Amino acid sequence: METIRSTNLTKRRKRQEQSTPDFVLMAIILIIVAFGVVMVYSASFNYCTGKGWAPTKLAIKQLGLGAVGIIAMLWISFKFDYHICTNRNLVRLFYWGSILLAASVKVIGIEANGAKRWIQIGGIQIQPSEFVKLAVVLMLTSFIIRNKRDMNRPINILKGWLLVLIPTGVVVVLGTNLSSGLVIGGIGAVIMFSCTGKVRYYLLLIALGVGLIFGVRYLASVTPKGEDPNFPIINKILPGYRLDRIRVWEDPWTDPTEDGYQPIQALLAVGSGGLFGVGLGSGVQKLGFLPEPYNDIIFAVICEELGLVGALLLMLGYAVIVIRGMAIAMRAPDFSGSLMAIGITSMIGIQAIINVAVNTNTLPTTGMQLPLVSYGGTALVVLLATLGLLLNISRSADIEKLQK
């Protein structure tokens, strides 16, 4: 009996040693991160010299943060077991802890560009909304696994959506972070639809979303610039600066020096790049025209310097991540792995779509970073660690294949 048990253990260890994560996905992630460091250097060179810093300061910091994130990604890929993330108590602690951290931004957060979204811990700025995104993926997965036989019941669909709407409300209202709220809502919609398949509920959701968009646009058209003291509740949900951005969305040239300034400069950068761009490092719009060109608006710099071809290659990279991620979800060894993979994949896909849409003025200006490329500490490290979880699921799928 002991010999059989020892033999089974040896076989299991051998399968674990032979199993590998999705190396194509890993390679694409590493290529995009490396590309991001190069583009951060190109976009921040003039900004850094203007501040009296070394021209490579932000690029080196991005490289260091990327290295930390990659180490975390590799460790999670090879040494972690994603089933730990299905532990009900751990998931609840992470979920409510993340929400509490996001809510605390209102009190102890530091302000940047007119918004409180970060918490300073030592010399590090943490953006709690990045943790909330992952927390929603894990909490929804845990909830659905416990109720998978009855997930089509209206009460469970309602409970699932509450798990999405609570953190979304906290991030949007208290954290003044509409873009992250959109991502969290999008992640929730994708996961909920994937496990229920109730088309009528999501047609209703789409109808409500379209109605909300038209309602907000109307509100922006009839209210004065800035906050209206007659509508204090609306001011909490849609502060004056948000309505101002929506107001100039259709025609930024109606306010070219203030709210329309950033979308105009981004469009000029995108349009001036042509097919192949003006050359890496040779862009003009980053030279004091684009605000913080190394951050949310870096896609416009990519379009100007590398042209339509460079932008499409980057978007192809994101498409590969999404396709490989969904393939991992389909071949995951269990339902929890599938749901996590779907949530993580939708997270990066939605973020990329929103950022590109903002840079091309398809959506109003909002603070959404370009995944793996934009300069940013918490976002880059947390996203790479999260992608490590996706790679770990792919490795578990490979173990399952070796067992057959």
Rounded to an integer, what distance in angstroms lies between the CA atom of residue 164 and that of residue 173?
Answer: 14
> Tens of pLDDT along the chain (404 residues)?
455 444 444 444 555 555 788 999 999 999 999 999 999 999 999 999 999 999 999 999 999 999 999 999 999 999 999 999 989 999 999 999 999 998 888 778 777 665 667 787 766 778 888 999 999 999 999 999 998 888 888 898 889 999 999 999 888 877 677 888 889 999 998 998 888 766 666 677 777 776 766 666 666 565 666 555 565 556 666 666 667 777 777 788 888 888 889 999 999 999 999 999 999 999 999 998 998 899 999 999 999 999 999 999 999 999 999 999 999 999 999 999 999 999 999 999 999 999 999 999 988 888 789 999 999 778 899 999 999 999 999 998 755 554 55
The answer to whether residue 276 sits within a structural domain is yes
Residues 6+ apart with CB under 8 A from 63: 37
| Three-state DSSP state, 112 | strand
DSSP 117: E
Task: Write the burial class of residue 166 (CB in 10 Å: 0-12 exposed, 13-18 middle, 19+ buried).
Answer: middle
The answer to whether residue 374 sits within a structural domain is yes
The answer to whether residue 179 sits within a structural domain is no
Instruction: Tell me the backbone φ, ψ of residue 337, rounded to 5 degrees.
Output: -65, -40
Both tokens of 106, joined, read: 């209102």
The answer to whether residue 363 sits within a structural domain is yes
- Overall domain count for the chain: 1
The answer to whether residue 75 sits within a structural domain is yes
- The per-residue pLDDT for 9 is 42
In the chain, the amino acid numbered 203 is L
C-beta separation of 294 from 374 below 8 A: yes
The answer to whether residue 396 sits within a structural domain is yes
- The per-residue pLDDT for 12 is 47
| pTM recorded for the entire structure | 0.89
The answer to whether residue 227 sits within a structural domain is no
How does 55-85 read in b/e, with b if 16+ C-beta sit within 10 Å? eebbbeebbebbeebbebbbebbeebebeeb
Residue 35 belongs to what domain range? 22-79+264-404
335, HSE (Cβ side, Cα atoms, 13 Å): 13
Rounded to an integer, what distance in angstroms lies between the CA atom of residue 289 and that of residue 309?
Answer: 23
- The per-residue pLDDT for 308 is 96
The answer to whether residue 298 sits within a structural domain is yes
